[in-house]
Chains A and B, each alone.
Chain A
Amino acid sequence: MPATRWWRWWSGFEAVTLAEFTAWATRLGLGALTAEDLADLHRGWLGLQPQLDRVREGLTPADRLPPPPLGLAR
């Protein structure tokens, strides 16, 4: 599967199918979840996309810099 396709799911740009989501869960080490679990999680993931969009958008690099690594002064 092309890497760009993963990115497109992750970015919420393209709705992931249940089969693709199941394969994704396996890659993440969640292969012990049942088909029923994955179907519910898939619905949850699709439902979460508008919220993720709000988090991913609307910030610019100038808004707030992330904290520096430990040991460095702010």
Chain B
Amino acid sequence: MSDLGWLGAAEGARRIAAGRLTAQAWTEALLARCAALQPGLAAWITLDAAGAMAAARSADAVASIGPLHGVPFGLKDCIDAAGLRGTGHSRLHLHRVPGADALVTARLRAAGAVLLGKQAMYELSYGGPSFDLPFPPARNPWDPDRIPGGSSSGSAAAVASGQGPLTVGTDAGGSVRQPAAYCGVVGLKPTLGLVPKTGVLPMTFTMGEPGPVARNVEDCALLLDAIAGTATTATLGAGVAGARIGVLRSFFAGEVVAKPEVVAAVERCLSILAALGASLTEAMPPLPHELDACGRVILLAEAFANHEAQLRVDPSLYGKLARHRFALGAFLSAADLLQAQRKREVLAVRMDALFESHDLLVCAVEVSGAPRFDDTVSGESFPFVAQPSLRIPFNLTGHPALALPCGFDPQGMPLSLQLVGRRGGEARMLAVAAALESKLGVRDARPPRFT
């Protein structure tokens, strides 16, 4: 396997700009690696070798136009690329070929980036991991018997296994952060409304949007800047000193109890942040169960609204998990949704209040490393009725949240810290994450089976 598989976006773009690498050579190497790893990891639904090589040739034909010039990237299969099949990993859209790019796709192409193809996901962002769909589920590069998380499952699996430095997923209930955490890569859910959803197959209306996945914070910031028009890379070296960090202990060692290795990994991060000059205090957010319940009702109601017509006519076109999860919202009342939306505003105000005395909040992304495919929870239709999500709260309140690799469990599976910023506070959050990443010793970690 070529080392170009592990080349980061920022470094690769620098080499291209300096004339030490061509986009064609990088793209060709990645396409070969993607094809070779596909039987074992199933990270892709559609690889566009011809389109990617044509884009790479175009990039090589002109001088560099910016920090993503000639950089290969992938897209979750619910994000449109003109002329390229976009299925949402569903039988429902098996032959759907959009005529236009999603806005994020167009922005990346305009930045000179090279689209490799479309990546596997949970069906229509909600149903997975499933074995009753037209495409197999993606697998975790750290242990292919374990799930990569979802719903941006192929996106995280691809980046984690050196099948491209960057990808764009979507996150309406943790769908970027969970797979990023399980696969040991960086994943960001931006501030609600920051990244346009135009050209993205919707799962919900008000809970999420596209977000970047990368192997390190610098590349994540580059990708965010390209799709959101932010300038987070300019302040990435700002560091931690003086940062006021609130610890959401109820999210991992209180109302929600994470596994001891997760708690230990978070505590290690807190020690490093303190050593870097941050001041740490306990923050008292709304209860995780309360945030989760409110977000869950809204997700279920909006997902059903998206799929009501199809569920009435022929629900058999969905896989079992998507069919069940989409249908459950039918049983909610209008009053349930209205109450949840009212409560959402109350909870968001309470979460905003935490940022009066803190610059950032931290907690775990998940309560454990990735479970196995044959774990009972992995195949259940409604695992969420037993344990509150640690990610949905920030979809609900709209705050940006980042999954940052921070260690491994005793089985060698990645663990992840969640950093939460104030609305529009991605630059500060990424600067702290970059400083922490530099001390954790897990940046750009490679799964042993796929080095």
* Complex-state Cα separation, A56 to B333, whole angstroms: 11
Give, as a whole number of angstroms, the nearest-CB distance from A35 to chain B: 13
Q: Are B296 and A41 neighbours in the complex by a CB distance under 8 Å?
A: no
Cβ-based interface call for B313 (8 A): yes
Cβ-based interface call for B314 (8 A): yes
Give, as a whole number of angstroms, the nearest-CB distance from A18 to chain B: 13
- With A25-B330, A37-B323 as known contacts, state yes or no: A58 contacts B343, CB within 8 Å: yes
Q: Are A33 and B342 neighbours in the complex by a CB distance under 8 Å?
A: no
Q: Are B312 and A63 neighbours in the complex by a CB distance under 8 Å?
A: no
Residues of A within 8 A of B311 (CB): 30, 32-33
**Residues 284-319 of chain B: 1 if any A CB is under 8 Å from the residue's CB, otherwise 0?**
000001101110110010000000000111111000
Cβ-based interface call for A1 (8 A): no
Cβ-based interface call for B338 (8 A): yes
Q: Are A44 and B324 neighbours in the complex by a CB distance under 8 Å?
A: yes
Q: Are A32 and B339 neighbours in the complex by a CB distance under 8 Å?
A: no
Q: Are A45 and B340 neighbours in the complex by a CB distance under 8 Å?
A: no
Q: Are A66 and B323 neighbours in the complex by a CB distance under 8 Å?
A: no
* Complex-state Cα separation, A58 to B382, whole angstroms: 25
Residue of A28, A47, A54 with highest tally of chain B CB at under 10 A: A54
Q: Are A55 and B336 neighbours in the complex by a CB distance under 8 Å?
A: yes
In terms of DSSP, what is the predominant structure of the interface of chain B?
helix
Cβ-based interface call for B241 (8 A): no
Q: Are A32 and B313 neighbours in the complex by a CB distance under 8 Å?
A: yes
Smallest CB gap from A32: residue in B:
B315
Count, chain B residues at interface, CB 8 A: 37
Q: Are A59 and B315 neighbours in the complex by a CB distance under 8 Å?
A: no
Q: Are B338 and A66 neighbours in the complex by a CB distance under 8 Å?
A: yes
Smallest CB gap from B291: residue in A:
A54
Cβ-based interface call for B386 (8 A): yes
What's the A-B contact tally at a CB cutoff of 8 Å? Answer: 96
Q: Are A44 and B382 neighbours in the complex by a CB distance under 8 Å?
A: yes
Cβ-based interface call for B255 (8 A): no
* Complex-state Cα separation, A58 to B346, whole angstroms: 11
Give, as a whole number of angstroms, the nearest-CB distance from B137 to chain A: 19
Q: Are A54 and B327 neighbours in the complex by a CB distance under 8 Å?
A: no
Q: Which of A25-74 contact B (CB under 8 A)?
A: 25, 28-30, 32-33, 37, 40-41, 43-45, 47-48, 50-52, 54-56, 58-59, 63-64, 66
Give, as a whole number of angstroms, the nearest-CB distance from A62 to chain B: 11
Smallest CB gap from A11: residue in B:
B333
Cβ-based interface call for B328 (8 A): yes
* Complex-state Cα separation, A43 to B296, whole angstroms: 16
* Complex-state Cα separation, A59 to B315, whole angstroms: 36
Give, as a whole number of angstroms, the nearest-CB distance from B323 to chain A: 6
Q: Are A54 and B290 neighbours in the complex by a CB distance under 8 Å?
A: yes
Specify which of A10, A24, A55 is in contact with B343 (CB 8 Å cutoff): A55
Give, as a whole number of angstroms, the nearest-CB distance from B353 to chain A: 14
- With A25-B330, A29-B312 as known contacts, state yes or no: A48 contacts B346, CB within 8 Å: no
Q: Are B292 and A41 neighbours in the complex by a CB distance under 8 Å?
A: no
Residues of B within 8 A of A54 (CB): 289-290, 293-294
Residues of A within 8 A of B289 (CB): 51, 54
Smallest CB gap from A63: residue in B:
B346
Residues of A within 8 A of B327 (CB): 30, 33, 37, 41
Cβ-based interface call for B50 (8 A): no
- Between-chain CB contacts (< 8 Å), 7 pairs: A28-B330, A40-B381, A41-B324, A44-B328, A51-B296, A55-B339, A58-B290
| Contacts from B to A (Cβ < 8 Å) | 289-290, 292-294, 296-297, 300, 311-316, 320, 323-324, 327-328, 330-333, 335-336, 338-343, 345-346, 381-382, 385-386
* 4 closest Cβ pairs, A-B complex: A47-B385, A51-B293, A44-B382, A54-B293
